[in-house]
């Protein structure tokens, strides 16, 4: 199956929770960044004890997109240009990496709903 989406942390959480609106993405490769996995790991630790959190994380089949130095400035620029929306650093990086790799940014963050190349699913 071709990779079409970059999964932000919200999308990963909803996939793991088995939410109905995300069922159509089952079978899609979970392409994401190390930053999103870091954020997801924190979410897991808030939900479960450490052993269970590690178990859930280890079962997740994902592929990481490499972050390069030039991506840092590009993501910072998105955050700066949208400062009134208070976008998260992790989301700005994910959106940058999605665009760079010709992937749609899959998110439930309403702040991204009207941006280009975004698939907004709540």
Asked if residues 9 and 90 have their Cβ atoms less than 8 Å apart, the reply is yes
Class of domain 5-120: alpha beta
| pLDDT on residue 2 | 64
Query: What distance, in Å, lies between the first and last C-alpha atoms of the chain?
Result: 24
- CB-based contacts of 60: which residues, under 8 Å, 6+ apart? 12, 16, 30, 40
pTM of the model: 0.94
Neighbours of 8 (CB within 10 A): 28
Neighbours of 100 (CB within 10 A): 15
For the chain (122 residues), the mean pLDDT of every run of 10, in chain order, is 87 97 94 98 98 97 97 99 98 99 98 97 96
Per-domain boundaries in the chain? 5-120
Map tokens 């939900």 to a residue: 47
Neighbours of 35 (CB within 10 A): 21
DSSP 101: T
């Amino acid at each position: 199956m071709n990779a079409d989406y970059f999964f932000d942390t919200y999308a990963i959480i909803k996939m793991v929770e088995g939410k109905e609106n995300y069922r159509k993405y089952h079978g899609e490769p979970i392409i994401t960044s190390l930053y999103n996995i870091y954020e997801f790991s924190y979410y897991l630790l808030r939900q479960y004890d450490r052993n269970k959190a590690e178990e859930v994380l280890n079962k997740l089949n994902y592929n990481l997109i490499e972050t390069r130095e030039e991506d840092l400035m590009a993501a910072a620029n998105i955050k700066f240009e949208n400062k009134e929306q208070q976008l998260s650093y992790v989301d700005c990086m994910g959106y940058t990496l999605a665009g760079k790799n010709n992937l749609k940014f899959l998110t439930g963050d309403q702040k991204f709903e009207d941006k280009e190349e975004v698939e907004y699913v709540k």
